[in-house]
Amino acid sequence: MSLESVQAWLAIHAPDIALIDQGASTATVAEAAVALGVAPAQIAKTLSLRLKDEVVLLVTRGDARLDNRKTKDRFGARPRMLGGEDAEAITGHPVGGICPFGLASPLPVYCDVSLKDFDLVYPAAGSRTASVCLTPQRLFELVGAGWVDICSLAEADTISSSTIACA
């Protein structure tokens, strides 16, 4: 049902965006990068977070780490990752396929500014084998996100924009 909810959502909101189903696992950043032939940083991972009594989604680059101090400063609460069952129940997507499209429940979505390092990013699409390719700005606009700066990168992990095109 999750993949279908993303397909239906994309058909309405972004019919020009093609679903990429690799037929191989893209459930982790490393698996997705290999399957899609891109750098791990270009994978747009979606984190399900509890901030006090609110659940939000954060989309960030694949090699970024959530910074607890930055998150607390921005939201006034320490972030807590949702467990797999809770994340799936709230989003409608299995862990490894969680994305901000076709959600079972409306949730606030935030995009970390780290996504802006790339021309194109690859978020999951509701299943452990499916993704989409789009610009960070398009992702931000489609899901009505807010930009935040709450992730950190190791100095060696910073790389410039990629020129790999969507298939």
pLDDT in tens, 40-78: 999 999 999 999 999 999 999 999 999 999 999 999 999
User: Which is the CATH superfamily of the domain at 2-157?
Assistant: YbaK/aminoacyl-tRNA synthetase-associated domain (3.90.960.10)
Query: What pLDDT does 114 receive?
Result: 96
With H, G, I as helix, E, B as strand and everything else as coil, classify residue 150.
coil
**Structure pTM?**
0.91
What does the domain layout of the chain look like in residue ranges? 2-157
Phi (first) and psi of residue 61, to 5 degrees: -65, 155
Can you say whether residue 15 is alpha, beta or left, with left for phi > 0 and alpha for psi between -120 and 50 degrees?
Answer: alpha
